[in-house]
Amino acid sequence: MSLKEVIQSQNFFRSLSEKDIDLLCEITTLHHYNKKFILYYENTSSKELYFLISGLARSYKIDKHDNEIFLHYIYENSLISEVSDLKSSSIYAYSNIELIEKSQILKIQYEKFKRYFLDTNLLCQEFTQEILNRSHQLQSLINREFVFDAVSKVSMMIYDDLEMFNKLKRHDIALMLHIQPATLSRVLSRLKRNYIIDIIHGEVIIKDKEALCAIYKDKIDD
């Protein structure tokens, strides 16, 4: 697929005329990376806007003790870069971005993109929506991390997406929830001890859905 075809296939750009797409092509390059590639590191700047065409990425930070803190996934067909100021012509990275699947990335010259497509309101709404999505992810993260303790985090994840929970390795779930595998293991055995879940051949089964939900919903009567 050519660059132009790739761009045309993306929802984000569907409002553009063919002429505008040609213009976009001139300031854009398409890149292919294998999984595990680090796209960029936190606290660095870039002149290019990154957009994930296909594949999967994750955003994470490093804490004081050199532990990784998983922030969120970035799914295909969405903006990767974390824009912080419309007035600035470069992009500052708050987090590290690692590709966790073979991915296709668009790199767009930000300054020109801004001038041709944002200042003229061509893609302004789509752009804003992308930023809102990212903001929403951060809000969820804050919820999970500040409001919830380890038991709540695990309960919520099991309640919300049991399938994913059972598919992933315990180690990866722990990383996502920002707790240690040992802690996750202890939380699970506690939930089992209280007859809220059961674990058969390593697979989690919900036994008391209400109680599970109550763990993280009922902040008050705890």
Binding marks (x or -) toward DNA, 37..76, rule CB under 7 A? Answer: ----------------------------x-x---------
Shortest CB 168 distance to DNA, Å: 8
Q: Which residues bind a copy of itself (CB under 8 A)?
A: 61-66, 69, 71, 82-87, 94, 118-119, 121, 124-125, 127-129, 131-132, 134-136, 138-139, 141-143, 145-149, 152, 178, 219-220, 222
Both tokens assigned to 207 = 């036994």
C-beta separation of 107 from 50 below 8 A: yes
Q: Which is nearer to a copy of itself, 58 or 134 (CB)?
A: 134
Contact partner at residue 193 from a copy of itself, DNA, none, CB < 5 to 8 Å by partner kind:
none
Rounded Cα–Cα distance for residues 59 and 138 (Å): 11
Both tokens assigned to 26 = 């001139």
- As a whole number of Å, the CA-based R_g of the chain is 21
Sign of the dihedral through C-alpha 14, 15, 16, 17: positive
Shortest CB 130 distance to DNA, Å: 31
Q: Hey, what amino acid is at 67?
A: N
* Strands 203-206 and 197-200, sheet pairing: antiparallel
- Region of 189 on the Ramachandran plot (φ > 0 left; ψ -120 to 50 alpha; else beta): alpha
Rounded Cα–Cα distance for residues 13 and 56 (Å): 19
- 201 is an interface residue for DNA by CB under 7 A: yes
- 186 is an interface residue for DNA by CB under 7 A: yes
- 171 is an interface residue for DNA by CB under 7 A: yes
Contact partner at residue 124 from a copy of itself, DNA, none, CB < 5 to 8 Å by partner kind:
a copy of itself
- 180 is an interface residue for DNA by CB under 7 A: yes
Q: Which is nearer to a copy of itself, 47 or 136 (CB)?
A: 136
- 194 is an interface residue for DNA by CB under 7 A: no
| Binds DNA by CB under 7 A, chosen from 6, 56, 141, 151 | 151
Kindly report the backbone phi and psi dihedral angles of residue 88, in degrees, each rounded to the nearest multiple of 5, phi listed first: -80, 150
Shortest CB 39 distance to a copy of itself, Å: 18
At 61, which helix (H) or strand (E)?
A: strand 56-62
Both tokens assigned to 222 = 């705890």
- 147 is an interface residue for DNA by CB under 7 A: no
C-beta separation of 137 from 72 below 8 A: yes
Shortest CB 172 distance to DNA, Å: 7
In the complex, the residues that contact DNA under the rule CB under 7 A are: 65, 67, 149-151, 169-171, 178-186, 188-189, 199, 201-202
